[in-house]
Amino acid sequence: MPVPPDAHASVAPRDTEPPPDRPFSWRFTMPLFIGSALNPINSSLIATALIPIAHGLGVPIGQTAVLVIALYLASAVAQPTAGKTAEVLGPRRVFIAGIILVAAGGLLGGFAQNLLTLMVSRILIGLGTSCAYPTAMLLIQRRARDAGLSRPPGGVLGGLQIAGIATASLGLPVGGLLVSTLGWRSVFFVNVPVALLALVATLVWVAPDGPLEHRPRLRELAVRLDVGGIAGFAAAMTSLLLFLFFLPTAHWFLLGISVALWIVLVWWQLRAPVPFLDVRMLAANKPLSRTYLRYGLTLLCQYVVLYGITQWASGVRGLSESQAGLLLLPMTLVSGLIIAPVSRRNLVRGPVIAAATVCLIGAAGVLALSASVWIGWVVIITIVFGLAVGFAAAGNQTALYAQAPPEQLGTASGLLRTFGYFGSIASSAIIGLVFHTSVSDSGIHLIAWIMIGVSLVLLLVSVVDRTIPRRASA
């Protein structure tokens, strides 16, 4: 049954005052940027703490990998779920709920006495941080509408991408510094003051959602959120990601379960009155689907650099994890410098093709890595991939804002992040397969050839897609 465009919105129009002269001042954007940065930073923050956690809790080092898996799984499922919930209940409400979950997860992990409690903490942090980006997109969309703008300024969307993507490489050096000075518990506790800062700023400077038109009953709310679709998506995603994480040991039953669940999910979504994952929209909106694909492939390359080169620098060059993490800081700086001007100009096609081209160049550069190579070459490679991340983040987010149905922007934004997690988890599987027995020059070269193949596919998808506009209309 067709769903009218306003069927997703259950929040009544707000009685707003005339928008201020500067609707996107730092007071409004600051909490959104802080919240959006928490997810990528937490994704990599834990890496330097895994060994100290194992020693501190007296568990095998291999078991601490569950802490990485927990946040990945929670985030991959929660991103579009948070967007969908925000469309129904209001983005500010969901944003605040997410921030509270982050603070609770940080406290729980900081005081944890066993691995199970730490895993629950990481799940809470994953769920909470996943609320930020899709709700921020909706809050920015609403702010632009209240200010009489057809779309928000490109610089605002660019700032959101800097916070949500470019900061991923900050987790390794920050985590190394925290663990070396304050101990492993600090990588959990650090979330608490940051979350409280974002919470207070949101309560003070972000306008409340309007009152709900009516308080939906539980059954009605379940239908509007498509709880069955969310559950099916979570189950299918979990089984697929577990299969990838356990590689090179192939648990084929997990892959079989995942395939069956995806088939059932598509069947369910085609019949749901208000689908969580609008399969018809994705099939009809091919430009948006290709944006998701490009984004996932780019992040696959980014995370291969983040974790693959870090492991190589530690295992072959003998650098500490914190030293290896510092080599990645140029990636954050360069990507941020690229995102800002590209986003302000609403450029799409040029940056998307540039990202694919630069990925290919960077992947070829990884072939030159060896035990005797100049360490500055590693920095050059991270700078090259910083360019790729900057171009891809700015171009694909601008494309998403233009391609996604306005009433489904929250879910569409969350799905963009989910595809990013597909890429990051696929990178973990690749690194695990290649470095299964040892970290070596030949292994990093094999990873380089895989990245070259991925980059060629990314370049092909970008160049032949004639639907990508030169720039988004202002």
Residue 293 to residue 462: CA distance in whole angstroms: 10
Beta bridge partners of 471: 347
- What is the per-residue pLDDT for 6? 42
Check pLDDT > 70 for residue 456.
yes
14's tokens: 């707000």
In our burial notation (b when 16+ CB lie closer than 10 A, e otherwise), range 304-339 reads bbbbbbbbbbbbbbebebbbbbbbbbbbbebbbebb
- What is the per-residue pLDDT for 163? 84
Phi and psi of 217, rounded to 5°?
-70, 165
Round the average pLDDT of the chain to a whole number and report it: 86
pLDDT tens, 119-134? 999 999 999 999 999 9
217's tokens: 């009953």
User: Domains along the chain?
Assistant: 21-209 (1.20.1250.20), 281-474 (1.20.1250.20)
Which SS3 state, helix, strand or coil, does residue 295 take? Answer: helix
Mean pLDDT in residue range 3-23: 48
- What is the per-residue pLDDT for 473? 64
Confidence tier at 16 by pLDDT (50, 70, 90): very low
141's tokens: 């969309």
Closest CA to 365 of 309, 310, 426, 438: 309
9's tokens: 């919105």
Distances (CA, A) of 200 to 12, 40, 195: 24, 22, 9
419's tokens: 């595809």
Contact 195, 101 (CB under 8 A): no
Residue 75 to residue 36: CA distance in whole angstroms: 12
Residue 104 to residue 82: CA distance in whole angstroms: 18
Greater confidence, 327 or 456?
456
- What is the per-residue pLDDT for 368? 92
pLDDT tens, 193-213? 999 999 999 999 999 988 876
Question: What's 243's DSSP letter?
Answer: H
- What is the per-residue pLDDT for 410? 86
Tell me the range of 101-110, 168-177, 426-435 where mean pLDDT is highest: 101-110
Check pLDDT > 80 for residue 18.
no
24's tokens: 């996107």
Confidence tier at 20 by pLDDT (50, 70, 90): low
Residue 174 to residue 74: CA distance in whole angstroms: 22
Residue 157 to residue 340: CA distance in whole angstroms: 9
- What is the per-residue pLDDT for 166? 66
- What is the per-residue pLDDT for 409? 86
pLDDT tens, 306-331? 778 888 888 888 887 677 777 878 88
Check pLDDT > 60 for residue 343.
yes
pLDDT tens, 89-112? 899 999 999 999 999 999 999 999
Report CA torsion sign: 390, 394, 395, 400.
positive
Closest CA to 349 of 454, 474, 462: 462
Residue 187 to residue 433: CA distance in whole angstroms: 28
pLDDT tens, 291-308? 999 999 998 988 888 778
DSSP per-residue letters across 42-99: HHHHGGGGHHHHHHHHT--GGGGHHHHHHHHHHHHHHHHHHHHHHHHH-HHHHHHHHH
Residue 396 to residue 292: CA distance in whole angstroms: 8
Greater confidence, 273 or 28?
28
Check pLDDT > 50 for residue 156.
yes
Proportion of the chain above pLDDT 90, given as a percent: 39
Residue 436 to residue 446: CA distance in whole angstroms: 13
Give the containing element (helix H, strand E) for 183: none
Confidence tier at 8 by pLDDT (50, 70, 90): very low
Residue 175 to residue 42: CA distance in whole angstroms: 9
- What is the per-residue pLDDT for 17? 44
- What is the per-residue pLDDT for 21? 60
Phi and psi of 181, rounded to 5°?
-100, -35
- What is the per-residue pLDDT for 2? 39
Closest CA to 123 of 37, 36, 188: 188
- What is the per-residue pLDDT for 327? 80
122's tokens: 């990481």
Residue whose tokens read 């498509």: 226
Contact 128, 245 (CB under 8 A): no
Calculate Rg over the CA atoms of the chain.
Answer: 21
**149 Rama sector, left if φ>0, alpha if ψ -120 to 50, beta otherwise:** beta
Mean pLDDT in residue range 221-245: 85
Distances (CA, A) of 379 to 6, 87, 331, 365, 386: 49, 42, 9, 11, 10
Which SS3 state, helix, strand or coil, does residue 24 take? Answer: coil
DSSP per-residue letters across 95-111: HHHHHHHHHHHHHHHHT
Using alpha carbons only, give the angle 42, 48, 54 rounded to the nearest 5 degrees.
Answer: 105
